[in-house]
Amino acid sequence: MTVMVLSGNSAQAHAVRLARVQVVSAYPITPQTSIVEKIADLVATGALKAEYVQVESEHSALQVVVSASGMGARTYTATSSHGLLLMHELVHWASGARDPIVMGVVNRAVGPPWNIGADHTDSMSQRDTGWIQFYAESNQEVIDTVLMAFRLAEHPDVRLPVMVMEDAFYLSHTLEPVDVPDQAVVDGFLPPREAHATLHPGTSARLGSFTGPDRYVDFRFEVAKAMERVPATLRLVEEEYKKATGRSHGGAVPTYRVDDADAVLITMGTSTTTARTVVDDLRAQGKKVGLAKLRLFRPFPNEEIRALGAMVDRIGVADRSYTFGPMGAAGTEVSAALYPSSHHPAVTGFYAGIGGRDVTPHVVRRMYESLLSGAVPEVHWEDIEEEVSVDG
């Protein structure tokens, strides 16, 4: 184990090196670019023995790794914002073909207007593509999650692709100390890929195929069942990672001081760190507040959210992207997960940090105060001049 001062993007690249990825393909886009540059360096120096295919678009980047994965190789790509949107067709394809690709996504706003700030609109727009989706809070979590992602993706019970999200600039370009596991430790945790349902030269087989209405649903159902097995498999993978490195990140929904809380805020990505300090401040003032982090967004952690809902009366959900539904994407999912429960906490959706705006302690404190006061609309835009409410 070595402690290095790394950016989130470097953490992704080091994870790719340690995972002994065999084929990488990517196309540059701000703020993902330093991942592909770093990987190019690692390949050039021989630190990573991978085929690095430089392509003319993100669409081709994902196609390269889809096809390479279909041949049995361990593969990685990374993108951001418009790049991810251009990939969209292949994002669906990868899960349908059961390709265990790992993709780093640097969450960035979508234009127009052009904006390179942190925003989850890009990956939220891919939430129903059959990919497992993690949102990371720190660079440590980035490197650890990418390594766990390969185990999870390639697990015979799963065989689905994984996205590991990091907030633009708040992680991608932020340097902080990261424990980088030794190669031998990673090799013990992550053996070479055992290829299931891949193509082999010299063998008659077709990967992809087509079906009529009679069979198509069977393939979708297989993906659905694999997705349902993710939570249990993640627990197993995280336990093994802990055994190997001594670290884990608390499963799908790690919580903080929620036990006797009157109100809990649910966050994703980097705003979680800021919120944790606000919880400590408010607790010091005697306010009973707690925090939960949606680390895993797909499959949605229904069980964990229901367990949380059984403990509190007020839940706020901070979304870093706008969706044109009843509330933000995470807020809507949390509400839907809670609906079948006997205990129904009040859920408020907040929009905070859209397009790279800072989610400051002040903004977080206001969200908690709204929740504690009990008099909040269903949906709340934080930190803008004119508050907008949407009728439910």
Binding site for another protein (CB under 8 A): 22-23, 25, 50-51, 53-57, 59-61, 63-73, 75, 89-90, 93, 96-98, 196-197, 199-212, 214-215, 218-219, 222
Q: Which is nearer to another protein, 10 or 95 (CB)?
A: 95
Q: Which is nearer to another protein, 98 or 127 (CB)?
A: 98
Q: Which is nearer to another protein, 27 or 135 (CB)?
A: 27
76 forms bridges with which residues in the sheet?
24, 102
Q: Which is nearer to another protein, 64 or 227 (CB)?
A: 64
CB of 66 to another protein, least distance (A): 7
CB of 336 to another protein, least distance (A): 28
- Give which of 149, 156, 177 is closest to 7, Cα–Cα: 177
Calpha distance 244→241 (Å, rounded): 5
CB of 89 to another protein, least distance (A): 5
Calpha distance 137→119 (Å, rounded): 14
DSSP string, 302-338: HHHHHHHHTT-SEEEEEESS--SSSS-HHHHHHHHHH
Residue 364 CB neighbours (<10 A): 29
Q: 363: Cβ–Cβ under 8 A, 6 or more apart, which residues?
A: 352, 353, 382, 383
CB of 91 to another protein, least distance (A): 11
CB of 266 to another protein, least distance (A): 36
Give the sign of the dihedral formed by CA 62, CA 64, CA 70, CA 72. Answer: negative
Q: Which is nearer to another protein, 23 or 291 (CB)?
A: 23
Give the sign of the dihedral formed by CA 80, CA 81, CA 83, CA 84. Answer: positive
- Give which of 138, 146, 148 is closest to 178, Cα–Cα: 138
- Cβ pair 351, 379 in contact under 8 A: yes
CB of 57 to another protein, least distance (A): 7
Q: Which is nearer to another protein, 211 or 389 (CB)?
A: 211
Q: 181: Cβ–Cβ under 8 A, 6 or more apart, which residues?
A: 1, 18, 143, 147, 244, 245
Q: Which is nearer to another protein, 89 or 280 (CB)?
A: 89
Q: Which is nearer to another protein, 25 or 323 (CB)?
A: 25
CB of 195 to another protein, least distance (A): 9
Amino acid in position 216: Y
Residue 58 CB neighbours (<10 A): 27
Give me the half-sphere count of Cα atoms (radius 13 Å) on the Cβ side of residue 3: 2
CB of 40 to another protein, least distance (A): 14
CB of 299 to another protein, least distance (A): 20
188 forms bridges with which residues in the sheet?
none
Q: Which is nearer to another protein, 206 or 259 (CB)?
A: 206
